[in-house]
Chain A
Amino acid sequence: MREVAIVGVAMTKFGTSEKTQVEMFAEAAMEAINESGLGLKDIQAVNVGNADGNIEEGQAVIAPMCAADIGLSGTPATRFEGACASGTIAIRDAFIWVASGFYDIVLAGGTERQRIMSTPLATRVMGMGVHSRYETPTGLSFPGIFAMMAHLYASKYGIPLPELKEAMARVSFKAHKHGCINPKAQFYGKEVTMQMIYDSAMVASPIQVFDCCPISDGAAAVVVTSADIAKRLTDKPVLIVGTGQGSSGAVCSQKDITRIPARELSAKRAYDMAGLKPEDIDVCELHDCFTIAEIVASEGLGFFEPGQGYKAALNGDTDIGGKIAINPSGGIKAKGHPVGATGAAQVYEIVKQLRGECGPRQVEGAKIGMTDTMGGSFASIGHLILKRGW
């Protein structure tokens, strides 16, 4: 395997878009290609993460449509579907193709337009992320999964629910603090107070509105190439030094969902490949689709011991300037969560952080960053570890 790098990144502003999924992807893709210093003729394959485009816009074969829109008809173009992790597995496969030497330059990313759906349809579609025969019929919503995770976490570790709820509220507060100063974030410029979080409506006990990510539109794209080519193009190539992927089935089959075996396996694969440990990571964009998800992920990635992640959130250990800066972009919670694009937007943030281009939300001196993305019933999980290549 050869060394692989990212040379161009771009994302649309997340929120509500009148543009189609193809149009949003095309915008992000062209910006990423232009930033890379490469041309369209250099792109040898296109990987597009997309979860629900068939239903959202009635569009199948979305990857070829995206490729054609930017003049890449004839180029191999493939859709990657791993629910909320779709964008990550699209980039991970781009890494594998380039590392293997089969391709030299791959455009990868994701796109999603969820807000065009009615709320009942969106709820139904997101409910498809659990086992359709044995779980969906119970009316288990997406917040419901993480609500059960929160109750189990409190029960397993003997934490009074109000204390866990305070930690969850701190996760939300931190996300909005960061998202408020990220111009690409859905909640950019919107200040959120602890009181607003505590007063928000109950969605699935104990998850309230401000524990939940929003429904979003957006796209993001990156250009993946060999480190040799990257070093000729830029003096700031960002290397992909480790990656992992894991999978699981129905929620119930995983039993204790305060520990996600697929995440721990996938993260270990990424750390082992990179020859790094959790304490080496300076900045992490992890899957905070719900506030409890951030706490559980911060443990699953090894930043904190199981059962200690909630204390870390309360202590500010996950703030910018804390022990490990988590979700400086505002995360899924405040940046938004156009599911197919999310993994690519996480990579966008880490690349920008490592290059030192994040302005007021910059994690000073960040040299190594990580992404963690989780789709469906923790069914599809992927990790990328990125490092400065200079």
Chain B
Amino acid sequence: MEYILTSKKFTEALKEGKFLGLKCHQCSGYTAPPQKVCSQCGSEDMEIVELSRQGKVRTFTVIHVAAEGYQAPYIVALIELEEGPWVTANIINMDPEAATMDIIGRQGKIDYQDIITDIFSGGERIALTFSLTDST
């Protein structure tokens, strides 16, 4: 069976304003980021759906020693989506120096940013972003 939501398709959809995931016909669970089979039950019987973009911060770090091509400091976080899956994203609408454990649990919204390519990146790439939408 064909790989229904490739990283290429996922990325192109984000650029067109759609945050895609997979919904399983067998267990009704959601899978994101995409993979071949359902992350809950292993079924291939899934359909591509648009996700709500809503989620909350489960954990994070402020990177002070940057990866090559990146400018420190910046925030990387694990976000629990409203639909259940967790994704890795950059929190972009707060000062990294001000990030403390208090941001764990805060609500926000998924989007994306373009990331420069390098000789190892296998072509164009994007990173998911997360903007806090609740007030402290």
- Chain A interfacial positions (CB closer than 8 Å to B): 120-121, 123-124, 127-128, 130-141, 143-144, 147-149, 151-152, 154-155, 161, 201-207, 249-253, 255, 257
Contacts and interface: CB of A to CB of B under 8 A. Distances in A.
Given A120-B68, A124-B118, A204-B63, A252 B125 contact: no
B62 A204 contact: yes
Given A123-B67, A252-B78, A135 B120 contact: no
Nearest to B62: A205
Interface string B27-40: 00000010100010
Contacts of A134: 7, 33, 87-88, 128
B61 A133 contact: no
Contact of A139 (B78, B90, B121): B90
The size class of the interface chain B forms with chain A is 35 or more
29 contacts: A123-B68, A124-B67, A124-B68, A135-B88, A136-B121, A136-B125, A138-B90, A138-B127, A139-B74, A139-B76, A139-B90, A139-B127, A140-B76, A141-B63, A141-B66, A141-B67, A143-B63, A144-B61, A148-B76, A152-B59, A155-B59, A155-B104, A204-B64, A204-B65, A205-B62, A252-B33, A252-B85, A253-B85, A255-B78
Contacts of A205: 61-62, 64, 99
B52 to A, nearest CB: 17
Contact of B88 (A140, A203, A206, A207): A140
Of A124, A143, A144, A161, the most chain B CB neighbours within 10 A belong to A144
B132 interface: no
A151 B33 contact: no
Contacts of B63: 139-141, 143-144, 204
A253 B86 contact: yes
B106 interface: no
A124 B60 CA distance: 20
B86 A137 contact: no
A133 B7 contact: yes
B101 interface: yes
A148 B125 contact: no
B110 interface: no
Contacts of A255: 58, 78, 80, 86
Contacts of A152: 58-59, 78
B77 to A, nearest CB: 7
A295 to B, nearest CB: 15
A202 B66 CA distance: 12
Contacts of A154: 101
B20 interface: no
A257 B33 CA distance: 17
Interface of B: 7, 33, 35, 39, 58-70, 74, 76-78, 80, 85-90, 99, 101, 104, 115, 118, 120-122, 125-128
Contacts of B61: 143-144, 147-148, 151, 204-207
Contacts of A149: 59
A123 B88 contact: no
A243 B60 CA distance: 34
B60 to A, nearest CB: 6
Contacts of B76: 138-140, 144, 148
A154 B66 CA distance: 24
Contacts of B80: 255
A86 B97 CA distance: 37
Contacts of A140: 63, 67, 76, 88
A155 B87 CA distance: 18
Nearest to B112: A137
B35 A249 contact: yes
B77 A123 contact: no
Given A139-B66, A140-B63, A252-B86, 18 more contacts: A120-B68, A123-B65, A132-B121, A134-B7, A136-B125, A137-B115, A139-B76, A139-B90, A140-B67, A144-B76, A148-B76, A148-B78, A151-B104, A203-B65, A204-B61, A205-B99, A252-B85, A253-B86
Nearest to A377: B88
Nearest to A118: B68
Contacts of B33: 131, 133-134, 250, 252-253
A140 B69 CA distance: 12
Contact of A151 (B60, B64, B69): B60
A144 B74 CA distance: 11
Contacts of B7: 133-134
Nearest first, the 3 A-B pairs at minimum CB distance are A147-B61, A152-B59, A137-B127
Of B35, B90, B101, the most chain A CB neighbours within 10 A belong to B101
